[in-house]
Amino acid sequence: MLNRGKSNILGVLIDAVDYEGAVDIVVRAARERKPAAVSALAVHGLMTGVLDREQRFRLNQFDLLVPDGQPVRWALNALYGKRLPDRVYGPNLTLQVCARAAQEGLPVYFYGSTPKIVAALQPALEGRFPGLVVAGAEPSKFRHLTFEEKTELASRIRSSGAALVFVGLGCPRQEVFTYELRDLLAVPVLAVGAAFSFLAGALPQAPAWMQKAGLEWFYRLLREPRRLWRRYLFLNPAYLFLVALQAIGLSKFSNRGRPPARELLYG
C-alpha cells in the first residue's frame, strides 16, 4: 500500500497513492461515517484548478485527490520521485471501493448521469458484487439546484443509510458538488467522472495499451470529437508546457486559491 502524501502539481495538491492506499482511506472514513471529499483527477480536472483560483481552492480542500491520468502520475514521479507504479483510474477505483463495500456491508449511493445510465449501473454493479447494498441511485437534474433542493438531496442521502456516495457529474461540476456537500452528507463523497457511463456499458473504454501509454484522451477524442476537442487540444499541450516550466524551476505555482464567492451547486 502506497500513500506518500500530497505534492504540488501546478498549484493543485495531488496525493501520491496507489489503489490500495486510496481504497483504505475511503473505506475507513465510510466505516466511521466521517466526511471525506475525494476526486480522481486527470489533466482536465487538474487544469480547472490552474485556470480558476476558486476551483483551485476547492480542490485543495479535498481530503484525497488521486492521479487518475497517466500524465498526472508521470508528473508526480518526475518532479517528486514518488515512484507510483500506476495511476488511480476513476472506474477502477469505483470497482475496488464497491468490492470492499460489499465485503464490509457498507451501503453505497450513486448520484449523477442520465436516468438510462443510472438504471443500468445499479444492476451491473450488484451483479458484479452480490453483497453490494445500494442505498439509492438517482440521475442528475442537469441544472443548478435551489437551496431547498440541495437540502432535500442531502436529507435523502443521509436517510438512505448510505456509508459513501459516488458522484458522476463530469468535471468540474462534480468537484464543486463534492466540495459543497461534503459536510452536509458526513460520509465519503467520491467524484469519479465518466465511471458511471463506463461501468453501465454505455461508453466503451480505451484499450488497455492506450490507457497505459497515456493515450486514453486520444481514444475519447476520436469517440466524441465535438464535445472534447477543445479540452484536449488546448489543455493537454498547456499542461505539458507548464509542468516543464515547473520541472526546470522557471515557474512556481502557488497552491493558494481564492475562497468561492458563492455556491454553484450543480445537480
- 171, part of any domain: yes
pTM exceeds 0.85 for this model: yes
* CATH number of the domain bearing residue 139: 3.40.50
* Residue 46 pLDDT: 97
Q: How many domains does the chain have?
A: 1
List 190's β-bridge partners, or say none.
38, 166
pLDDT of residue 167: 97
Whether 138 contacts 261, CB under 8 Å: no
What pLDDT sits at residue 229?
A: 73
The whole-angstrom separation of Cα 178 and Cα 189 is 6
Q: Does residue 264 sit within a domain? A: no
Give residue 25's pLDDT.
97
| CA atoms in the 13 A half-sphere facing the CB of 165 | 36
Q: Low-confidence residues of the chain, pLDDT below 50?
A: none
φ/ψ of residue 64, rounded to 5:
-150, 120
What pLDDT does 21 receive? 96
Instruction: Give residue 152's pLDDT.
Output: 94
Cell numbers standing for residue 21? 492506499
Q: What is the pLDDT of residue 203?
A: 79
- Please report whether residue 243 resides in a domain: no
pLDDT value of residue 224: 80
Place of cell 467524484: 191
Q: What is the pLDDT of residue 205?
A: 84
Range of the domain at 64: 3-209
Residue 255 lies in a domain: no
C-alpha cell at 7: 505534492
Choose among 51, 76, 100, 44: nearest CA to 230.
44
Output b/e per residue, 250-266; b: 16+ Cβ within 10 A.
eeebebebeebeeebbb
C-beta neighbour count of 105 within 10 angstroms? 11
User: Quick check: is 93 in a domain?
Assistant: yes
| Residue pLDDT, tens place only, 81-124 | 999 999 999 999 999 999 999 999 999 999 999 999 999 999 99
The pLDDT score that the predictor gives to residue 164 is 97
Per-residue confidence (pLDDT) for residue 207, from 0 to 100: 87
Q: Is residue 252 part of a domain?
A: no
Assigned domain for 219 exists: no
pLDDT given at position 204: 83
Per the domain annotation, does 183 fall within a domain? Answer: yes
